[in-house]
Structure 1
């Protein structure tokens, strides 16, 4: 299992700033294949007590493992300069949302710049289109 996990990490694309959609797709697919995506699909269960059933204790243990592993993999596959600008959290789903919000803002700014360029550019009669 450890060898499979190690090999799978190399399949996940690194987030370098311009490839958020590719990184997100690669990350979620590979976490699902490795059966580690529980923390991204299910909200954190309540911590078990002595009255909790065996199934509740097992779910909690699986979720904690999934959450910890997802966080480690996400942070490992994000460029260090980007990773430092994302607020740290102990919840994998929240961390992934924080990364997504950072790049949604970036995409909107980039889109605005491109739209301005498109609407203000005029043909000068000399250069190509």
Structure 2
């Protein structure tokens, strides 16, 4: 947004910033990405986001009278310079006002213990870059934690159901992208992680998926997993306990059903054809 586009009145800009500040989480160090997203949203609503991309206006060089200039030439130089000086004064005042608002907004969303470790900067752009560099390490650590959670995640049943389990994994994966585009998980990889998180009762289901050339997106994965869980529940008398005494439990004849046999290629039941 250009400076000319940041045309909201002073009162409106302050109102929008004050309205948005309550929605910005206090920056603690482990929540930098969410904090920055909310901060940027506040700046956009207040129409002061242009100051992040616009450097402070540079004062035009004052005219200097040359020894060869007569009075008429000198007066002309001053007249030519006057509009540039006025334009600079107006732009600089506007820039300083927006910069001051943004700086105050930022400082009111940072934990006091962290504030003292952030060096003062003349512009909000420099200040945000300083904050970003300080929390890069924390961001990488958090990304590593997210990846570890995804890889070690296991579905153990319970009252939440398999749909919520898969949605939770999908949300964990979605948190990686804002940190680093290189960390974005492709849908196919996320589906494989979901399959790896399923208990042993789903082993045949997973084998059948791996043998089939069709690839699923996360919505199809949810639908098919819910369908398979319903089938397993029906086979087991309406309920399943995936974990007992922290050990995986397998189906036996006494479980009102026997383990599913692997389906021969092309002979899967209709409800499990992928």
Relative to the length of structure 2, the TM-score reads 0.38
How far apart, CA to CA, are the structure 1 residues paired with 2:60 and 2:40? 28
Q: Is the 8 A contact 1:86 1:99 kept in 2?
A: yes
Spell out, residue by residue over 1:11-31, the C-alpha distance to the aligned partner (whole angstroms, 9 max, x if none): 222212211011101001111
How far apart, CA to CA, are the structure 2 residues paired with 1:85 and 1:8? 25
Q: Is the 8 A contact 1:12 1:26 kept in 2?
A: yes
Partner of residue 18, structure 2: 6
Partner of residue 34, structure 2: 22
Partner of residue 66, structure 1: 98
Alignment match of 1:79 (pick from 108, 111, 122): 111
How far apart, CA to CA, are the structure 2 residues paired with 1:90 and 1:40? 12
Question: Structure 2 unaligned runs (5+)?
Answer: 1-10, 63-80, 149-245, 248-274
Q: Is the 8 A contact 1:71 1:92 kept in 2?
A: yes
Question: Structure 1 unaligned runs (5+)?
Answer: 117-126
Structure holding more helix per residue: 1
How far apart, CA to CA, are the structure 1 residues paired with 2:112 and 2:38? 18
Q: Is the 8 A contact 1:38 1:67 kept in 2?
A: no
Partner of residue 137, structure 2: 105
Relative to the length of structure 1, the TM-score reads 0.75
- Larger displacement relative to structure 2 (104-113 or 75-84): 104-113
Greater than 4 Å deviation, 4+ residue runs:
109-116
Q: 1:114 to 1:36 in 2, by over 3 A?
A: closer
How far apart, CA to CA, are the structure 1 residues paired with 2:87 and 2:145? 52
RMSD, aligned CA:
3.0
Q: Is the 8 A contact 2:26 2:109 kept in 1?
A: yes
Q: Is the 8 A contact 1:12 1:27 kept in 2?
A: yes
Partner of residue 122, structure 1: none
How far apart, CA to CA, are the structure 2 residues paired with 1:49 and 1:8? 40
Count of aligned pairs between the two proteins: 123
Structure with larger Rg: 2
